[in-house]
Amino acid sequence: MSERQHVHEASAGLRPFDPDDLAAAWEAAHDALPAGWTVQRPSRHDEERERPWHVFATDLRQRAKRREYVEATGWTEAEALRDLAGLLRVWTVEAVERAED
């Protein structure tokens, strides 16, 4: 990658694509999922200037019209997935603590 292209990507909020980083981020998200949950495919929202990648994890066990979900964002697809993994780990710990009270 040329220096000019690198500067352009950085100024546009783009990051170089690393397939190993993306695979590791998917693995982290799946490892953090509670039983019965799934990760939706991340989507890019070009209209957003900050953290345009969005990803959701949804509880598929619930039969209600409104299911419980966790949403995360990132500058890249991998960053959004890592953010989701972190949120799910915290959410799971909090859910366990509430159940113990």
Q: Is residue 6 part of a domain?
A: no
Read off the CATH number of the domain in which 80 is found. Answer: 3.30.160
Residue 2 lies in a domain: no
Residue 1 lies in a domain: no
pLDDT in tens, 67-99: 889 999 999 999 999 999 999 999 776 665 555
Report yes or no on 5 lying in a domain.
no
Q: What is the mean pLDDT of the chain?
A: 81
Number of structural domains the chain divides into = 1
The burial class, CB within 10 Å (0-12 / 13-18 / 19+), for 51 is middle
> Residue 42 falls within a domain, yes or no?
yes
For residue 40, being part of any structural domain is answered with yes
List the structure tokens of 65.
């019209």
Q: State residue 59 phi and psi, 5-degree precision.
A: -85, 110
- Whole-prediction pTM: 0.74
Q: Is residue 54 part of a domain?
A: yes
Closest CA to 39 of 72, 6, 63: 72
Q: What is the DSSP letter of 64?
A: S
Q: Within a domain: residue 7? A: no
The range of the structural domain enclosing residue 81 comes to: 18-100
